[in-house]
Amino acid sequence: MSTPLRILGIETSCDETAAAVVLRDERGGRILGDVVLSQLEEHSAYGGVVPEIAARAHVEALDTLIEEALLRAGVTLKDIDAIAATSGPGLIGGLIVGLMTGKAIARATGKPLYAVNHLEGHALTARLTDGLSFPYLMLLVSGGHTQLILVKGVGDYERWGTTIDDALGEAFDKTAKLLGLPYPGGPAVERAARAGDPERFDFPRPLVGDARLDFSFSGLKTAVRQAAQSLEPVTNEDIADICASFQRAISRTLKDRVGRGLKRFKEDYAAVDEPALVVAGGVAANQTLRTTLQGLCDEHGFRFVAPPLQLCTDNAAMIAWAGAERLAAGLPPDSLNVAPRSRWPLDTQAQALIGSGRRGAKA
């Protein structure tokens, strides 16, 4: 669609309140205004996200953030072509706040509403930032999901692999909590690992060598706990070494699991001239894992696409862009009766496994 589209996006699926305005035209996509309010301080004392606190914070901040996003974009609601609000998966209280706000704006302005799957926001971000063409492979790694997904088109996704137990982000968070590191766990583990010896502990690499493309991190998490218990009381050096060895085991696991996915993609889509792997989700901010995936793509002849760090974590720009993509593709808007969904897999035909669209998990 050559007609410029300006979309207002709203994201409230977990512990970030966000609003953004994006532009989609014949040249691609551009973020006009993007505002994210983190609730980190509100939840850090509890070592995780408290749903009731998150929902209350969304209510208090969302209206102001929408006004700020419009102001930064230099537009008003009259200039907006559609509203896109996260409708799932996520914490139901937060989803209700964002979706109801989107419905209210759509009703008041007469603009169409797109109830967006949060995971689709991640899946399509690379088209906003890098102009990527379909099809491509996406590794989604976050607190609630670890999936390898074939992105064939807007609204057209095929899950090739998923976690059979814990999501990768959950494994990071629980490892951090076990070692007494602050929340959020992922960045804390990464910081500690920089000073550690990755060779000290030979942690397991779950499912390495398995023909299927699924993931498993529960056994690795158990091995970390056992190592820490055997050393009690752990020193700062012990913690650094455990974190470094933990990241090394994950890197080697991803190299095997994702590597098999890249081979499958080349077999199934041999006609694609420049195959690409996109990494998305909060854990995609981890530089060690990015380096591993970059090397893997170089080895297999894939383009490696990692969106800017601020677009890896929860944000409204990706939700607005997903709405723009759906509108440009001619997909119909959603009814104002659409309901939020705490569980909402991208591939609705895939077999439900533990860890896939876990209720209340951060996507």
Is 168 found in the same domain as 124? Answer: no
Is 187 found in the same domain as 47? Answer: no
Is 164 found in the same domain as 304? Answer: yes
pLDDT at 253: 96
Tally of structural domains, the chain: 2
Confidence of residue 45 (pLDDT cuts 50, 70, 90): low
Is 52's pLDDT higher than 90?
no
Is 297 found in the same domain as 274? Answer: yes
User: Could you give the CA distance from residue 307 to residue 285 in angstroms, rounded to a whole number?
Assistant: 9
Q: What is the 3-state secondary structure (H, E, C) of 305-340?
A: ECCCHHHHCCCCHHHHHHHHHHHHCCCCCECCCCCC
Is 196 found in the same domain as 113? Answer: no
Confidence of residue 222 (pLDDT cuts 50, 70, 90): very high
325 in Cβ contact with 127 (< 8 Å)? yes
Is 162 found in the same domain as 297? Answer: yes
Residue 177 lies in a domain: yes
Residue 54 lies in a domain: yes
Name the percent of the chain lying above pLDDT 90: 85
Residue 19 lies in a domain: yes
Is 304 found in the same domain as 196? Answer: yes
Is 354's pLDDT higher than 60?
no
When pLDDT is averaged across residues 21-45 and rounded to a whole number, the result is: 88
Is 357's pLDDT higher than 80?
no
pLDDT at 63: 97
Residue 162 lies in a domain: yes
Is 197 found in the same domain as 112? Answer: no
Domain that holds residue 17: 5-129+310-328
Residue 354 lies in a domain: no
User: pLDDT tens, 126-159?
Assistant: 999 999 999 999 999 987 889 999 999 999 999 9
Is 24 found in the same domain as 142? Answer: no
The CATH number of residue 43's host domain is 3.30.420.40
Residue 30 lies in a domain: yes
Is 268 found in the same domain as 315? Answer: no
Is 43's pLDDT higher than 80?
no
Residue 363 lies in a domain: no
Is 346's pLDDT higher than 50?
yes
User: pLDDT tens, 77-118?
Assistant: 999 999 999 999 999 999 999 999 999 999 999 999 999 999
Residue 139 lies in a domain: yes
Name the percent of the chain lying above pLDDT 70: 95
Is 41's pLDDT higher than 90?
no
Is 288 found in the same domain as 212? Answer: yes
When pLDDT is averaged across residues 354-359 and rounded to a whole number, the result is: 42
User: pLDDT tens, 233-243?
Assistant: 999 999 999 99
Indicate the burial class of 338 (C-beta count within 10 angstroms; 0-12, 13-18, 19 or more).
Answer: middle
Is 359's pLDDT higher than 80?
no
User: pLDDT tens, 276-325?
Assistant: 999 998 899 899 999 999 999 999 999 999 999 899 989 999 999 999 99
Is 269 found in the same domain as 254? Answer: yes
pLDDT at 361: 37
When pLDDT is averaged across residues 163-168 and rounded to a whole number, the result is: 94
Q: What is the mean pLDDT of the chain?
A: 93
